[in-house]
Amino acid sequence: MRSLTVDGLGPVSRIGLGTWQFGSREWGYGDDYADAGATAIVRRALELGITLFDTAEVHGPGKSERILGAALGEQRDDVVLASKVLPIAPFPKLVRKAWQGSAQRLGVRRIPLYQVHQPNPVVPDTVTMKGMGALLDEGRIGAVGVSNYTLDRWRLADEALGRPVISNQVEFSLAAAGPLDDLVPFAEAEDRLVIAYSPLAQGLLGGKYGVDNRPGGVRAMNKLFGTENLRRVEPLLAVLREVADAHHVAPAQAALAWLLAQPRTVAIPGASSVEQLEFNAAAADLDLAADEVAALTAAARAFDPQSTVSTLAERAKEEAGPLLERATPVLDRVRQALKR
Ligand SMILES: NC(=O)c1ccc[n+]([C@@H]2O[C@H](COP(=O)([O-])OP(=O)(O)OC[C@H]3O[C@@H](n4cnc5c(N)ncnc54)[C@H](OP(=O)(O)O)[C@@H]3O)[C@@H](O)[C@H]2O)c1
């Protein structure tokens, strides 16, 4: 497994494992997954040399951390565990309390990468980073990271911490390529790390979903699975399939390999099965040719998803259409009967 060396963290595998799915009802994977499937995925990830495991106090909430900590067992201190504080009121005392909860659930005394889950729109980073800095000084965490930060806010967080905030975890995939423009060049110039979340666009880049086969749960709210966007993404998926076919790999693997072709970038795909995890891990060793990377980048940049679509409303309308059509004669008969 290829890795990147990151200050304060040591080697970080370029493919990590995202664990939001563990114990989270919104993915709809059920109890068997939480009880056994998730553990099997973590054990296999360790065997395959994955060292980066991402979680958050809010996933589950708390369940993802518990399941991950238990599944890692004795090896939990040998990997780069990454968790996150939800900064609702990120005052130093509360940041410490959140850290304590996460460390306890994970079963560790030190969390290698502790991230601020999202920028607080009201509380500045000068406040949040006081608590994070104290944890760093005491060795309770190995490095400070942020998540969902713009480049400007990442720089402000640096200033507030008085040291480099080592990573920024952001939505980044062929279907959400914005970080290419600013975060990736910054990470490359400053030796930081971009951690790509939803690197498979929540399964869209696996190539199996379409208008007649859409995922439910939390993904029913994802605009990318709306009818219009499923249409708009087709040209991108066509290029992805072509590149994948040329290497005899699955589309998901080519999508991950494209991310890993970007400097200072690692990806943390979630997995619903051990088989998916194995596919994703193998992508770390897949080298795309420069012209393939360029073709995928061009297709990613050309993809212009509709941003205002409400997938639920859209779907309700679509599903109601045929139902209403079928119901019309019945309603007409009822109306006639009432008139009589
Ligand atoms: N910091 C944040 O705000 C934030 C936000 C979101 C996520 N995250 C982190 O990022 C991680 C990953 O993001 P994500 O789970 O949103 O999206 P993702 O990794 O893009 O998608 C994961 C889903 O894609 C499908 N999949 C995985 N491997 C596949 C393969 N080889 N072929 C085909 N389909 C495959 C699986 O769903 P099916 O099999 O059911 O289709 C899986 O649950 C999360 O677990 C979490 O740790 C962080």
User: For residue 19, how far is its CA from the centre of ligand 1 (angstroms)?
Assistant: 8
Dihedral angle computed from the Cα positions of residues 217, 222, 224 and 226, in that order, rounded to the nearest 10 degrees: 70
User: For residue 203, how far is its CA from the centre of ligand 1 (angstroms)?
Assistant: 6
Report the DSSP beta bridge partners of residue 173. 176
Place of tokens 């596919």: 279
C-alpha 115/C-alpha 185 separation (Å) is: 21
What local confidence, expressed as pLDDT, does residue 319 receive?
Answer: 47
What local confidence, expressed as pLDDT, does residue 13 receive?
Answer: 97
What local confidence, expressed as pLDDT, does residue 327 receive?
Answer: 59
Residue nearest to atom 15 of ligand 1 (CA): 270
User: For residue 252, how far is its CA from the centre of ligand 1 (angstroms)?
Assistant: 11
Whether 220 and 26 have beta carbons less than 8 Å apart is answered as no
- Pocket flag, ligand 1, residue 58 (CB < 6 Å): no
C-alpha 117/C-alpha 86 separation (Å) is: 5
Residue nearest to atom 29 of ligand 1 (CA): 276
The candidate with the shortest Cα–Cα distance to 134, out of 160, 105, 172, is 160
Give the CA radius of gyration of the chain. Answer: 22
What local confidence, expressed as pLDDT, does residue 23 receive?
Answer: 81
- Pocket flag, ligand 1, residue 252 (CB < 6 Å): yes
Sign of torsion, CA 98 102 107 110? negative
What stretches in the chain show pLDDT beneath 70? 308-332, 334-335, 337-340
Dihedral angle computed from the Cα positions of residues 181, 258, 220 and 58, in that order, rounded to the nearest 10 degrees: -70
Ligand 1 site-directed mutation target among 113, 202, 222, 223, most atoms within 8 Å of CB: 202
What is the atom index within ligand 1 of the atom nearest the CA of 169? Answer: 1
Place of tokens 């502790």: 114
pTM score of the predicted model: 0.91
Dihedral angle computed from the Cα positions of residues 94, 86, 81 and 9, in that order, rounded to the nearest 10 degrees: -80
Q: How far is CA 103 from the centre of its chain?
A: 21
What local confidence, expressed as pLDDT, does residue 35 receive?
Answer: 85
Give the side-chain half-sphere CA count within 13 A for 160.
21
Residue nearest to atom 42 of ligand 1 (CA): 271
- Measured from the Cβ of residue 242, the count of other Cβ atoms closer than 10 Å reads 15
Q: How far is CA 192 from CA 128, 166, 231, 297, in A?
A: 20, 5, 36, 22
Domains of the chain from N-terminus onward: 3-339 (3.20.20.100)
